[in-house]
Amino acid sequence: MDIDLWLVQWLCPNRHALAASPYDKHRTTPEAHEAALLAEAARNGLEARCALCGSRELHFEHGKLPFGDWASAMAALLETERLNIETRRAIDERKQSSSWMKTDEYVIWSIEHQAWWPASRMGYVLTLALAGRFSREDAAAIVEHANYPPGTFHECMIPLEAFGEYFQVPRTRITPAMIRAVRRDVALGASHECSDWIEHGVCLICDQTI
C-alpha cells in the first residue's frame, strides 16, 4: 500500500519544537493527528510552553517527509530526536556552568542526510567539530531554502551555545577516533583550521608542518 508520510511539529515563534509526530495522510488527517499529539502531550504532562524561550504562543506546522517507507523515516526521526535530547541536556548542564557560552550562532543538521552543514555550505560533514557556524539570520535562510517546497523538513538549525566549549576542541578531548573522523570529512571536501589541530608543530589532520 502506498504511504504519504508527513511530520507535524508543535512549535513556538522561535521554531523550538515542543513535540513532533509523523503520520500517514492515507490513514489520518492533519487535524486528527494534531488532536492526537495534544492528547499524548497531556497524558505525558507536557506543559504548553516552550522550555527554551518561555513562549506560550504555539502553533502546528506540517511538512512532507523525504522518505517513502516507515523504516527509513523512523530511523532518521529517532536520530534527530536523540540529537535534540542531547542538545537540551547540554543546554541545561551548561546553564549551570561557568563555561556557559553566550552566542547567537547556529549549526545546521540535515535530517535527510544525517550529517552537519559545513561552513562552505557544500556537501556535509559527519563530525560536529567541522560543522559550519552561522548567524541566526543565515541559518534561518538556509533552512528555509533547504526545506522547499514549503512544508517539507530536510534540515534544522540548532543553537551553537548548546554545545559550549566543544567547539574549542580542548587538547585532552582530541582522540584518534576524532582525528580519523575529521580526516574522512576533509577527504570528502570539508575544510579545517590547522591551528585547531596542531601537535608538535604538525597538523594532525593534513600533516602540514606549521
Over the stretch 53-82, which tens digit does the pLDDT of each residue have? 778 899 999 989 888 899 988 988 888 777
Residue 127's pLDDT band (cuts 50, 70, 90): confident
Q: In whole angstroms, what is the distance from residue 80 CA to residue 191 CA?
A: 25
pLDDT of 201 strictly over 60: yes
Q: Could you tell me the pTM of the whole model?
A: 0.49
Residue 88's pLDDT band (cuts 50, 70, 90): low
Residue 99's pLDDT band (cuts 50, 70, 90): very low
Q: If phi over 0 gives left and psi between -120 and 50 gives alpha, with beta otherwise, what is residue 110?
A: beta
* Nearest CA among 113, 208, 121, 102 for reference residue 164: 102
Q: In whole angstroms, what is the distance from residue 160 CA to residue 106 CA?
A: 5
What's the start-to-end Cα distance of the chain, in Å?
60
Residue 95's pLDDT band (cuts 50, 70, 90): low
- Between 162 and 125, name the one with better pLDDT: 125
Question: Any idea what DSSP says for residue 158?
Answer: E
Using CA atoms, how far residue 188 sits from 89, 109, 154, 185, 192, in Å, is 31, 18, 21, 5, 12
Q: In whole angstroms, what is the distance from residue 164 CA to residue 79 CA?
A: 21
